[in-house]
Structure 1
Amino acid sequence: MTDLAHSPVLGALPDKRQVAASFSRAAESYDSVAELQRAVGAQLLARLPPAQPVQAWLDLGCGTGHFSRALAQRFPSAQGAALDIAEGMLRHARPLGGAQQFIAGDAERLPLRAQSRDLLFSSLAVQWCADFAAVLAEAERVLQPGGLFAFSSLCVGTLQELRDSWQAVDGLVHVNRFRQFADYQRLCAASGLRVLNLETLPEVLYYPDVRSLTHELKALGAHNLNPGRPGGLTGRARILALIDAYEGFRQPQGLPATYQVVYAVLQKEH
Structure 2
Amino acid sequence: MNDLSVAMLAASLPDKRQVAVSFSRAASSYDSVAELQRDVGHELIARLPVGLTPQRWLDLGSGTGYFSRVLGQRFGHSQGLALDIAEGMLAYARPLGGAQHFIAGDAENLPLQSNSCDVIFSSLALQWCADFRAVLSEAHRVLKPGGVLAFASLCVGTLSELRDSWRAVDGQVHVNRFREFQTYRQLCADSQFQVTSLHNQAHVLHYPQVRQLTHELKALGAHNLNPGRPEGLTGRARLQGLIGAYEQFRQPLGLPATYQVVYGILEKTR
The TM-score normalised by the length of structure 2 is: 0.97
Mapping for residues 68-87 of structure 1, pairs under 5 Å: 68-87=68-87
**The structure with more helix, counted as a fraction of residues:** 2
Q: Are residue 236 (structure 1) and residue 236 (structure 2) matched?
A: yes
1:182 to 1:7, Cα distance in 2 relative to 1, 3 A: farther
Corresponding pairs, count = 266
AA of the residue aligned to 2:78: A
Cα distance in 2 between the residues matched to 1:246 and 1:221? 22
Q: Is the 8 A contact 1:81 1:99 kept in 2?
A: yes
Cα distance in 1 between the residues matched to 2:97 and 2:197? 30
Match of 1:18, SS state, is helix
AA of the residue aligned to 2:148: L
Runs ≥4 residues deviating over 6 A: none
Equivalent in the alignment of 1:255: 255
Cα distance in 2 between the residues matched to 1:146 and 1:117? 10
Match of 1:261, SS state, is strand
Q: Are residue 95 (structure 1) and residue 70 (structure 2) matched?
A: no
Cα distance in 2 between the residues matched to 1:191 and 1:30? 33
AA of the residue aligned to 1:118: D
Equivalent in the alignment of 2:205: 205
Mapping for residues 157-168 of structure 1, pairs under 5 Å: 157-168=157-168
Q: Is the 8 A contact 1:10 1:179 kept in 2?
A: no
Shift of 1:8: 3.7
AA of the residue aligned to 1:227: P
AA of the residue aligned to 2:95: P
1:71 to 1:20, Cα distance in 2 relative to 1, 3 A: same
Shift of 1:51: 1.0
Equivalent in the alignment of 1:33: 33
Q: Unmatched 5+ residue regions in structure 1?
A: none
Q: Is the 8 A contact 1:176 1:223 kept in 2?
A: yes
Q: Deviations over 1:193-223 (max 9, x none)?
A: 0000100000000000000000000000000
1:136 to 1:9, Cα distance in 2 relative to 1, 3 A: closer
Cα distance in 1 between the residues matched to 2:242 and 2:32? 26
Shift of 1:9: 6.1
Cα distance in 1 between the residues matched to 2:92 and 2:50? 30
Equivalent in the alignment of 1:179: 179
Q: Is the 8 A contact 2:10 2:131 kept in 1?
A: no
Match of 1:248, SS state, is helix
Cα distance in 2 between the residues matched to 1:176 and 1:217? 11
Match of 2:6, SS state, is coil
Mapping for residues 40-119 of structure 1, pairs under 5 Å: 40-119=40-119
Shift of 1:89: 0.2
Cα distance in 1 between the residues matched to 2:269 and 2:103? 27
Q: Deviations over 1:130-188 (max 9, x none)?
A: 00000000000000000000000000000000000000000210000000000000000
Q: Is the 8 A contact 2:10 2:130 kept in 1?
A: no
Shift of 1:10: 7.2
Cα distance in 2 between the residues matched to 1:215 and 1:180? 26
Cα distance in 2 between the residues matched to 1:9 and 1:84? 22
Shift of 1:257: 0.1
Q: Unmatched 5+ residue regions in structure 2?
A: none
AA of the residue aligned to 2:183: D
Mapping for residues 121-200 of structure 1, pairs under 5 Å: 121-200=121-200
Q: Is the 8 A contact 1:10 1:178 kept in 2?
A: no
Cα distance in 1 between the residues matched to 2:152 and 2:80? 19
Match of 1:6, SS state, is helix
